[in-house]
Amino acid sequence: MSIKDITIIIASYKSKEKAINCLESIDNQCKVIIAENSNDLNIKENLEKKYKNVECILTGSNLGYGKANNIALKKVKTKYALILNPDTTLSKSTLQNLIKVSNLIKDFAILAPEEQENKRKISINNKDVFEPKLVKNVKGFAMFFKMSEFIQVGFFDEDFFLYFEDIDLCKRLNKKKKKIYLVANLQIEHLGAQSSDPSIKRERELTRNWHWMWSTFHYHKKYKGFFISLVIIFPKFFSSAIKILIYSLLMNKNKKEIYQMRFEGIINSILGKSSWYRPKIKFND
């Protein structure tokens, strides 16, 4: 196995600057497919001109994390795929260590960096120590796929626009007895919540609150049924309704709007409506 056996997938939404930081950390021998959730031809042309190993697919609209990744994953011809958020960067050893651990662990479906579950960095003196840990799920900012393990399972559930796509995928892999590992010594830095332009922070926060609630109910309904999911979501539903009232009386528009979005996300999911909400953002060309 070599670096040429890996395709890197990056789903982005107007995140060119973050994507450039990520691309600068990737060996140019490695094929990269960017699924850009817009129809911005300038982003495509600039990235493909600057990086000869990059193919940028314009999805045409904001399809979300799961659907954009699926579009790119269906174009992968290599044995492995590494899914990255645009606000991640690799160390010089990341891809080589992925190759080494792939040769050590033959039965994996997903490998992911162990540091995602720790607030402090893991201290490892021996660069050849990987210490894989079998887990139920991993976070979606960095996931290394053995493509052959997904033939029966498929990739991400496209009903989710944001949140729970990674957990849902891992659950389906678990049901098929596929193995997921956290691995030490995979250096992938993740800034977190910084994949989009900072000027859209407020709308991003509103969008996340809406979709967190929508996806929470939808995920539980998928595996536990409608009525059990109602019981699970009710405390969040009740809390949102009360806080809308409280912040209305206090005339705190910002807080009221956040809980209004949570409430609406829950209602839409309960009513069986799609995850339709999209951030109301205008970008400068």
Ramachandran category for residue 191: left, alpha or beta (phi over 0 → left; psi -120 to 50 → alpha)? alpha
Residue 38: predicted pLDDT: 93
CB-CB neighbours of 17 under 10 Å: 11
* Strand 179-183 versus strand 88-90 pairing type: unpaired
Q: Helix, strand or coil for residue 83?
A: strand
Residue 117: predicted pLDDT: 45
Residue 195: predicted pLDDT: 46
* Strand 80-84 versus strand 6-12 pairing type: parallel
The closest of 68, 87, 81 to 11, measured between CA atoms, is: 68
Cα-flanking dihedrals φ and ψ of residue 273, to 5°? Answer: -80, 155
CB-CB neighbours of 55 under 10 Å: 16
The closest of 104, 117, 9 to 59, measured between CA atoms, is: 9
d(CA 91, CA 127): 12
- First-last CA distance in the chain: 42
CB burial class (10 A; 0-12, 13-18, 19+) of residue 200? Answer: middle
CB-CB neighbours of 167 under 10 Å: 17
Residue 202: predicted pLDDT: 87
Name the pTM for this structure. 0.91
Ramachandran category for residue 96: left, alpha or beta (phi over 0 → left; psi -120 to 50 → alpha)? alpha
Q: Which amino acid is at 254?
A: N
72-95: b or e for each residue (b if 16 or more CB lie within 10 Å)?
A: bbeebebebbbbbbbbbbbeeebb
Q: Which residues of the chain have pLDDT under 50?
A: 117-120, 122, 124, 195-196, 283, 285
d(CA 95, CA 92): 8
Residue 122: predicted pLDDT: 47
d(CA 15, CA 242): 36
